[in-house]
Structure formats: structure tokens, C-alpha cells
Amino acid sequence: MKREQSEQLYKQALEHIVGGVNSPSRSFKAVGGGAPVFMNKAKGAYFWDVDGNQYIDYLAAYGPIITGHAHPHITKAIQTAAENGTLYGTPTELEITLAKMLKQAIPSMDKVRFVNSGTEAVMTTIRVARAYTGRTKIIKFAGCYHGHSDLVLVAAGSGPSTLGIPDSAGIPNTIAQEVITVPFNDINALKQALERWGEETAAVMIEPIVGNFGMVMPREGYLEQLCQLTRQYGALVIYDEVISAFRFHYGGAQTYGAFPSAEAIEPDLTAMGKIIGGGLPIGAYGGRKHIMEQVAPLGPAYQAGTMAGNPASISAGIACLEVLKQPGTYEHLDRLGAMLEAGIEAASKLAGIPMTVNRICGALSTHFCDHPVTNYEEAKDTDGEQFAQFFRLMLNQGINLAPSKFEAWFLTTEHTVQDVERTIHAAEASLKEIARRS
Ligand code: PMP
């Protein structure tokens, strides 16, 4: 497969855009470097690059494109919004419609506020939790990404808990010291952190179903215990549902049928983004009324946004949720997900390349290892070199994955059985080739 135009454009991009990309995850640095593929058209489950090559897309723009690219219902909603004016700076009825849809699907959110990205949503939940509790510390979980605001860009370390190691230059130690990182799925580590810092902790922030080191479910009873322990210390529970909201069913991870009691795992605040904007920029946060009333203009916690709640993003979000609400949507994603999982597992066995596939409905992650992946340490302890080979072999057969061993594959409502069959054949050939080379 030739990609000369992509290579040319990458050279130009490097001259004008830092690193040639507008988000580091788009670079091919983690898979051996070189020019990323420059796409110029996307429709349904497919991508076309600037050299005219076609790909089946499993990146789904890192999650938002759950109804496939350029879905006609969403495109029409965006067109109508554009004709009516894209930005008002006044309230609109559309915002009420989307807020009601979110509240109906995720009842822990008595009150909602729209912002422009997942980063903003998470960042503000932390401010609100601090305003409400009068405390400053945050407990988070190793490997969970919560956007690029200072406080949550603090990495994990080994051991039961780690205090304040920034994952980026430019974050003052005074900020990093406010963050405690503990391993996911280890209730004792959380207990120890709360015993030591619980009285100073404003919130425990978690991806209730993890999407950032592969797809990882919480162990049975983990979220229940987490909520109970956190509240014992007077801290708030914040769920980062930027990836998980509307991913596995019409609702959040917090209302997913896999958990025995939605009430026992209800958070105080929730951050969202991605899918709820139907492919346009959006974020939202919400939670219990008395906590959300900390936010300006009602309360002392300030948060604002020129672009927040803009009619284009809100219209795309409403249209996307309308598509997802159609009967059979998640059954389709689950069915294709199961097929893909079985096909990849069989291909890995046949080739003798150990792989662990984690799948939840239409989202799955492929880890090159022979052990389960239930936390970040296990996700790191996988063969990145084999993944890099797999990524490139798949790409050259027209299958577009995220260029990182940690990222999930996302199916959309537009993928078909034939797409999945083609993908499984490509995986068989790729894994066979990796085995031949090793
Ligand atoms: N939280 C989670 C769980 C995410 O996966 C992401 C983005 N991948 C974010 C927050 C940040 O969202 P955004 O990129 O829209 O700022």
C-alpha cells in the first residue's frame, strides 16, 4: 500500500504544526515512528486517505464516532444548526433538550452544565468538589487518563500509593502534591490512601469502566466499596464517563446492567464528552443538585465558556443520541464485538502469539501478553514491539487501529459482518507474519 501523499503532507505538517499533529496520540511515535496516515474522507465504517487507500476504521476518533462517520441524521442536524447560526452566546432550547436526554439516561445528574471537551468537564468537576468540600486533595487511579489539565496529568508509581509525580513538564510540584494515585481494582490500596489522606480528600476520581489502558471492568463489588469508603471520609465520588457514557448501552457505566445495584455505585459528580457531541466538540458535567449549585451564577465556583452549549455541538449530540436510542443498536455492537473477539482469539491461538482480548459490548482491546489485564501495571507489561508490528500489518491491509497498545478498538453501528470478517482475515495474516518473523 503506497502512502506517498501522506508522507509529503507529514513533511509539511512538521514545518508548521508542532510534531506534525494536533494531539500526540495521532503521531506514530509509539509504533516505530514515521508519517501518520492523512485521511481526507470518512463515511460509515470507512476512511479514505490522501493516496486513495480505503480503510475499515476502528479508531472512531478515539470514541465519539459510535454511529459511524457522516451519519445522515447527524449531518442533517449540523446543517440545520449551521443555517440557523452556529453560535449565539445566549441560552437556547436545544441545550434543555440535550440536558433532559442526559438526565433521563443517567439519573445521578440532577443538574448539568455543557462545556467544550472532556478535559474541561473533568477539570470542573474537581473544582466543584473542592468548592463543596473545602478540601484540596484528589485520589485517582494509575493509568486512567482524565484529560490534560494540570491536576490529573499526574502519573502512577509502583507501590500501594504514590503522591505527586507529574507526568508532564510544566506542572508545579505544589499541584502534583495534591494528587494521590493508587492502582485500579485494588480496594486495599484505596483504603490505605484514604486512611492517610481521607480527611484532606475532596474527591476520588475514577473511570468506572476503564478505556485508557484497554477496556477494563472493575472487579465485582469494587465500585460499591469505593463509593462507600469515599463517603465514609466525607469525600465526593467523581466518575469520568468521557469514554464510557453511551458506549455500552443507552446510559452511563453507572447505569450499566452488569452492575447489580445502580444506587450503590452512584457518583456525586459525572464528567462526559465524546459520544454526547455526535462528533463535534463537547463536554458536560453534572451531579447532585446541592453540589452542582456550587457553580456560578448560583454559587462561588466559577466556570464559563464562549463556545459552551453551541447549537452545532448540541444539535449533533441530540441527533447522535436519537440514533443510539433506536432498538437493536447495542445488540448490533455486542454481536459484532463478540465475533471480532472470537476471531482474534482464534487467530492468536493459531499463530501461537499470546493475546488477551478484553471486550465490553462493541469496544475491545488487544493486549500482546499471556496474562489477564485488570490494571495499568498488567497493561504495561505487554509486548509493545509485537503490537507495533500488528498495527502496521493491519494498516497495510486496510484496517485502521489506534497507534497505541493501550487504546481500544471501537465498533460503530455502521460496521457490518463482512467488515468484521475482513478484519479477522487481516488479523490472521498479521499474526501469522509476526510468528514467522520471530
Ligand atoms: N477522560 C477520559 C476518560 C478520556 O478518555 C479523555 C480523552 N481520551 C478525556 C477525559 C479528555 O477528553 P478530551 O480529549 O475531549 O479533552
pLDDT band of residue 159 (cuts 50, 70, 90) is very low
ipTM of the complex: 0.99
Cα gap 291→288, rounded to integer Å: 5
For a mutational test of ligand 1's pocket, the pick from 25, 125, 149, 242, i.e. the residue with the most ligand atoms closer than 8 A to its C-beta, is: 242
Give nearest CA residue, ligand 1 atom 9.
147
- Kindly report whether the peptide bond that precedes residue 160 is cis, defined as omega within 30 degrees of 0: no
Q: Ramachandran region of residue 400, left (φ > 0), alpha (ψ -120 to 50) or beta?
A: beta
Rounded to the nearest whole angstrom, what is the distance from the C-alpha of residue 23 to the centroid of ligand 1?
12
Instruction: Tell me the CA distances in angstroms from 139 to 157, 164, 195, 200, 254, one per residue in order.
Output: 13, 10, 12, 10, 19
Q: How far is the CA of 120 from the centre of ligand 1 (A)?
A: 9
Q: How far is the CA of 332 from the centre of ligand 1 (A)?
A: 25
Please tell me the distance from the alpha carbon of residue 354 to that of residue 348, in angstroms, as a whole number.
6
Q: Which residues line ligand 1 (CB under 6 A)?
A: 62, 117-119, 122, 145-147, 207, 211-212, 240, 242-243, 273
Cα Rg, the chain, nearest whole Å: 21
Average pLDDT of every residue of the chain = 95
Handedness of CA 194, 196, 201, 204 (dihedral sign): negative
pLDDT in tens, 64-104: 999 999 999 999 999 999 999 999 999 999 999 999 999 99
Nearest CA to 205 out of 234, 241, 173 is that of 241
Question: Measured from the CA of 207, which atom of ligand 1 is nearest?
Answer: 3
pLDDT at 156: 36
Which has the closest alpha carbon to 414: 68, 75, 74?
68
Neighbours of 245 (CB within 10 A): 27
Residue nearest to atom 5 of ligand 1 (CA): 243
Q: Which pLDDT tens digit goes with each residue over 47-58? A: 999 999 999 999
C-alpha to C-alpha distances, 321 to 78, 121, 142, 154, 217, nearest whole angstrom: 14, 19, 31, 33, 24
From atom 12 of ligand 1, which residue's Cα is the shortest distance away?
A: 118
Residue positions annotated with a catalytic role: 145, 240, 274
* Residue 270 DSSP one-character state: E
User: How buried is 90 (Cβ within 10 angstroms: 0-12 exposed, 13-18 middle, 19+ buried)?
Assistant: exposed
Cell 481500544 belongs to residue: 408
CA of residue 145 to ligand 1 center, whole Å: 7
CA distance 86 to 321: 20
Residue 285's φ and ψ, nearest 5 degrees, are -135, 155
Question: Out of 169-178, 340-349, 357-366, 407-416, which region has the weakest mean confidence (pLDDT)?
Answer: 169-178
Q: Whose CA is nearest to atom 7 of ligand 1?
A: 147
Question: What predicted TM-score, i.e. pTM, was given to this entire model?
Answer: 0.97
> What does each C-alpha distance from 216 to 196, 240, 316, 333 come to in angstroms?
27, 14, 29, 18
Atom 13 of ligand 1, residue of closest alpha carbon? 118
Check residue 338 and give its pLDDT.
Answer: 98
Cell numbers for 160: 500501594
Pocket probe for ligand 1: among 116, 138, 146, the residue whose CB has the most ligand atoms within 8 Å is: 146
Distant-in-sequence, close-in-space partners of 155: CB < 8 Å, separation ≥ 6 = 142, 162, 165, 166, 167, 181
Helix (H) or strand (E) holding 90: none
144 CA: nearest ligand 1 atom: 3
Q: DSSP letters along 326-384, please? A: STTHHHHHHHHHHHHHHHHHHHHHHHT---EEEEETTEEEEESSSS---SHHHHHSS-H
Average pLDDT rounded to a whole number, residues 247-276: 93
Q: Ligand 1, residue 118: give the atom nearest the CA.
A: 12
Q: How far is the CA of 119 from the centre of ligand 1 (A)?
A: 6
Between residues 242 and 173, the one the model is more confident about: 242
Q: Residue 320, SS3?
A: helix
HSE on the CB side for 414, CA within 13 Å? 19
Mutation test residue for ligand 1: of 23, 119, 285, 407, the one with most atoms within 8 Å of CB:
119
Q: What is the DSSP code (8-state) at residue 288?
A: -
Tell me how far the alpha carbon of residue 121 lies from the centroid of ligand 1, in angstroms.
9
Q: Are strands 236-240 and 269-273 parallel, antiparallel or unpaired?
A: parallel
Mean pLDDT in residue range 243-264: 91
